């Protein structure tokens, strides 16, 4: 997959009760995958990667690049299938030069366990239109 980040990532840190550390996009984040453009809207929330705290000394969610943003957006939006967004995460990490000893376990983890989050969003009816409505309410 060919990855390109078309804008800089601009986020604001928050601590959210019962959810921990979260980041909110304060500017749209544009990226392309194989020349198909995507826009993660303002007000999108991410934790970068849901890596258990005890693993952080080895794989810190803030040291695996920007790939979790497109991945989280893809999972939430449901624009393609889960496997597509898992491959996007892998390609983003390769594009950013993340070492294979970090890349491989992260990719395997989302491949094996990401279906829980994917299914949760599908049951909630999460879509890009919902993201845009949230953006409109917050602005």
Q: Which two tokens stand for residue 1?
A: 């997959």
Q: What is the strand order of the sheet 29-33 is part of?
A: 3-5, 29-33, 36-40
Please tell me the predicted confidence (pLDDT) of residue 56: 81
- The boundaries of the domain holding residue 51 are 3-138
The answer to whether the CB of 12 falls within 8 A of the CB of 27 is no
Please tell me the predicted confidence (pLDDT) of residue 139: 47
- Cα 82 to Cα 114: distance, rounded to the nearest angstrom: 8
CA distances from 63 to 49, 56, 92, 106, 116 (A): 10, 10, 13, 12, 24
What total number of domains does the chain contain? 1
pLDDT tens string, the chain, 139 residues long: the values are 999 999 999 988 887 676 667 888 999 999 999 999 999 998 888 888 888 778 888 988 788 899 999 999 999 999 899 999 999 999 999 999 999 999 999 999 999 998 999 999 888 887 766 565 554 544 4
- The strand pair at 36-40 and 45-46 is best described as unpaired
Please tell me the predicted confidence (pLDDT) of residue 39: 93
- Cα 25 to Cα 33: distance, rounded to the nearest angstrom: 20
């Amino acid at each position: 997959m060919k990855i390109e980040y078309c804008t800089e990532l601009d986020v604001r840190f928050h601590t959210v009760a019962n959810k921990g550390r979260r980041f909110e996009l304060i500017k749209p984040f544009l990226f392309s995958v194989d020349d198909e453009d995507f826009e993660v809207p303002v007000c999108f929330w991410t934790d970068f990667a849901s890596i258990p705290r005890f693993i952080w000394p080895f794989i810190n969610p803030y040291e695996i690049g920007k790939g979790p943003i497109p991945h989280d957006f893809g999972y939430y939006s449901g624009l393609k299938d889960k496997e597509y967004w898992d491959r996007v995460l892998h390609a983003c990490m390769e594009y950013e030069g993340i070492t294979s000893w970090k890349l491989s376990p992260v990719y395997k983890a989302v491949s094996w366990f990401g279906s829980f989050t994917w299914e949760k969003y599908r049951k909630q009816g999460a879509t890009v239109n919902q993201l845009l409505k949230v953006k409109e309410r917050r602005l």
